[in-house]
Amino acid sequence: MKNYARSMLRLVLLSLFFIMAPGHGGEPEVTIKKSDRCPVCGMFVYKYPKWVAQIVFQDGTAYFYDGAKDMFKHYFDTAKYTPGKSPQAIKDIYVTDYYEVELVEARSAFYVIGSDVLGPMGHELLPFKDRESAQEFLQDHKGRSILRFQEVTPALIQSLDRRS
């Protein structure tokens, strides 16, 4: 009887682990409130779930954005949008994969620029979790190029705003 009880306890604990575990692929499942606003432009983020990006700081504070472009603006000028915080204090960064509409790690994503698809704030970087999806989108939507996180620069972000 003791072995049965122990086995049942293990089964219950294992079930709880899977219920409480993060979403697909270890990425977070995020609940956006109606009051969440982009710290860069002030837009209410809940209106644009297909475009959501997020920065999470080591102290647990998190900010949502209405697209990767505004997330990069915050990343490049952290002190302006979150006084007292630095880029070194950033724990995680997420963007929404354009096709899958799920959060993916921003530093490993692929970004298409120069396409015919506009985001909530005009010209945008369109994130994808893999190169194949980014390449397919680039061809279907007249994209200019595919970039990795470390290739995105403040000048590139400014150029996207000038095109709007």
User: What does the pLDDT average to over 57-83?
Assistant: 96
Residue 18 falls within a domain, yes or no?
Answer: no
Tally of domains in the chain: 1
How far apart (Å, rounded) are the C-alpha atoms in residues 29 and 12?
23
Burial 57-93 (b: 16+ CB within 10 A, else e): beeeeebbbbbbbbbbbbbbebeebbeebeeeebebb
Q: Decide if pLDDT at 51 tops 90.
A: yes
The pLDDT of residue 58 is 96
Residue 60 falls within a domain, yes or no?
Answer: yes
CB 36 within 8 A of CB 46: yes
Residue 73 falls within a domain, yes or no?
Answer: yes
Tokens (6 digits) for 68: 């990767």
Residue 92 falls within a domain, yes or no?
Answer: yes
Q: Which pLDDT tens digit goes with each residue over 76-116?
A: 999 999 999 999 999 999 999 999 999 999 999 999 999 99
Residue 164 — very low, low, confident or very high, per pLDDT cuts 50/70/90? low
Residue 24 falls within a domain, yes or no?
Answer: no
How far apart (Å, rounded) are the C-alpha atoms in residues 149 and 49?
21
Residue 6 falls within a domain, yes or no?
Answer: no
Q: What is the pTM of this model?
A: 0.81
How far apart (Å, rounded) are the C-alpha atoms in residues 97 and 110?
9
Query: In 78-153, where does DSSP find H-type helix?
Result: 78-81, 131-140
Q: Decide if pLDDT at 54 tops 80.
A: yes
Listed residue (30, 35, 76, 33) closest to 53, CA to CA: 30
Residue 4 falls within a domain, yes or no?
Answer: no
- Boundaries of domain holding 158: 30-163
Torsion angle (degrees, nearest 10) of CA 138, 142, 144, 145: 0
Residue 102 falls within a domain, yes or no?
Answer: yes
